[in-house]
Amino acid sequence: MKKRVLAMVLALGMTFGLAGCAGSDKAADTSDKKAESADTESKDELTTVKWNYGSSGNVLVTIAEEEGYFADEGIKIEPVEATQNMDAMALLAAGKVDVVSNAGTSNPLQQIAQGVDLTIFGGHMVEGCMPVIAKAGTEWNGIESFIGESVAVNPSYFAFTGAVMDLGYDNPLDVVDWKVYSSYDDALVAVQNGEVKYALMGTQNNYGIKELVDAGEIEIVSYQSEIMENYSCCRMVGQTEWVNDNPDTVKAIIRALLRAQSWYEANKEEAVSLHAKKIGQDDDYVAAYMLDDEHYFVNVDPLKNSVVRAWGILDKTGYLGDDCQINIEDHINTDLYEEALSEAKDAYGDEAPDFYDAQQKFFEENDK
């Protein structure tokens, strides 16, 4: 049984018209051709945005496509595949993709520190339902339990190193044995064989992890969002030149995603089915994280204050290189988001007035 369940987790972790009748009436035929021509021209007018959102997808992008919100804004999404975060960032740096939305926060920040001119202009997941696991029965006393232990957590994940610093430790790299594995599946195995005491799992691992919890093999002791609230899981980022040269496109994207977020918050169970179909998974796989309201939180907001906090933690722990002089606020564009939010409220506020009021309040609290 254990081998079967483990195999299931490993497999899941790696997955991250023509209509009408033909008539002889020439006027009707001409009319049909004109309508077809107009429709073709309308489609040609859509602005194509090349987008990478990883193997787990982006539920707000899914909704905006399926509900026609992107089309309403004159946008067409062209997916560009890259399952690993660094591959996605490489595509962005090379100009082969316009937007990356699922590559975390530390990845784009480290790219910026290395001189890649990128701009964060929005967000996806604020909190990504990422569980911290251990063998069943393992004691947990909060982040203090990391001190002196081997943990399968990449120390560039600033929520954890930042929380250790909040305990009073100047250098969190010295007091915790941070182990970096090539995949969450390897980290899971490390917990099971006793190589590490705790491990962080990805959003996509929730379904399989809960199977192991039910089997009594492991337990979820915490979540990354409990270690640091609003830690900024994934940001929307593009090349600065592209963002600056295409402000109308950027705002159109944001307006469409705001409508999608409003729809998502009112229809979460339907969103589960919609997104599961999009990424080729069962509803239960997506529901395992998406319906966890306590630990899964999506929002289009750029979350400037949390990004600045993340930059500071990465700098103090040496992940931005030596003596980085970049002002990260120069690489966070909140103006376009603020304008798009106002425009979306004016255009679509009647659809969900409370939602847009809440978004404005959230912006004031997290970006000013």
C-alpha span between 313 and 39 (Å, rounded): 51
The answer to whether 231 and 225 are in contact (CB under 8 A) is yes
Does residue 12 surpass a pLDDT of 70? no
What pLDDT sits at residue 84?
Answer: 80
Write down which residue in 204, 227, 250 finishes a domain: 227
What pLDDT sits at residue 41?
Answer: 40
* Beta strand ranges found along the chain (DSSP E): 47-52, 75-79, 99-100, 118-123, 125-128, 131-135, 150-152, 177-178, 198-200, 218-223, 235-239, 296-298
What pLDDT sits at residue 44?
Answer: 58
Same domain, yes or no: 122 and 137:
no
Question: Cβ atoms within 10 A of the Cβ of 144, count?
Answer: 11
pLDDT, one tens digit per residue, over 241-283 is 999 999 999 999 999 999 999 999 999 999 999 999 999 999 9
Does residue 197 surpass a pLDDT of 80? yes
Does residue 17 surpass a pLDDT of 80? no
Same domain, yes or no: 122 and 135:
no
C-alpha span between 38 and 43 (Å, rounded): 9
Across the chain, mean pLDDT equals 89
Whether 328 is in a domain gets the answer yes
Q: What is the CATH number of the domain that holds 157?
A: 3.40.190.10
The DSSP line for 7-57 is HHHHHHHHT----S---S-HHHHHHHHHHHHHHHHHHHTSEEEEEE-TTT-
Does residue 73 surpass a pLDDT of 80? yes
The answer to whether 237 and 121 are in contact (CB under 8 A) is yes
Write down which residue in 211, 227, 243 finishes a domain: 227
Write down which residue in 175, 201, 227 finishes a domain: 227
Whether 38 is in a domain gets the answer no
Whose tokens are 């193997």? That residue is 55
How large is the average pLDDT for residues 223-250? 97
Same domain, yes or no: 143 and 244:
no
Whether 14 is in a domain gets the answer no
**pLDDT band with cut points at 50, 70 and 90 for residue 62:** very high
Does residue 1 surpass a pLDDT of 80? no
pLDDT, one tens digit per residue, over 105-125 is 999 999 999 999 999 999 999
Percent residues over pLDDT 70 in the chain: 88
Higher pLDDT, 125 or 57: 125
Does residue 131 surpass a pLDDT of 50? yes
How large is the average pLDDT for residues 153-164? 97
How large is the average pLDDT for residues 188-195? 98
Q: For the chain, how many structural domains are there in total?
A: 2
Which residue segment(s) compose the domain that 194 sits in? Answer: 131-227
**pLDDT band with cut points at 50, 70 and 90 for residue 2:** very low
